[in-house]
Amino acid sequence: MQIIENNKGANTYAWIDGVQIEHDIFTTVRALGQLPFIFKHIALMPDAHIGIGACIGSVIPTKDAIIPSAVGVDIGCGMIAVQTSLKEEK
């Protein structure tokens, strides 16, 4: 996991090690992190790519606000939940 620091707002926790990510994503998550209603931090998944108003493959928690453009028709595209034998510390 990488932390994309944002000295003007919420940081982004990014699970993108070994994944090629479009450079514009970093600009987008930093801009989103500056919104006053972001709750704690943003999360960026390995399938992240540019969307309209938000990054597809991101989790943007908010407090007392809803961002309609952050929810699209491709929720979870490229992601799957699989139970493994790995433990949390791994």
Query: Does residue 85 form part of some domain?
Result: no
Which residues have CB under 8 Å from 45's CB, separation 6+?
15, 16, 57, 58, 59, 79
- The pTM is what? 0.75
Query: Does residue 22 form part of some domain?
Result: yes
Query: Does residue 78 form part of some domain?
Result: no
What pLDDT, on the 0 to 100 scale, is given for residue 79? 65
Higher confidence at residue 61 or residue 77?
A: 61
pLDDT digits (tens, 9 = 90+) for 10-61: 999 999 999 998 989 999 999 999 999 999 999 999 988 888 778 888 889 9
CA distance 13 to 44: 6
DSSP states of 43-64: EEEEEEEE-SSSEEEEE--BSS
* CA distances (Å), origin 83, targets 28, 48, 72, 86, 88: 31, 22, 26, 9, 12
88 falls in which pLDDT band (50, 70, 90)? confident
Query: Does residue 75 form part of some domain?
Result: no
78 falls in which pLDDT band (50, 70, 90)? low
Task: Residue 10: count other Cβ atoms within 10 Å of its Cβ.
Answer: 22
Q: Please state the domain count of the chain.
A: 1
What pLDDT, on the 0 to 100 scale, is given for residue 35? 95
User: Domain range for residue 59?
Assistant: 2-70
Q: Residue 79 has which token pair?
A: 């992601």
Q: Residue 10 has which token pair?
A: 């919420």
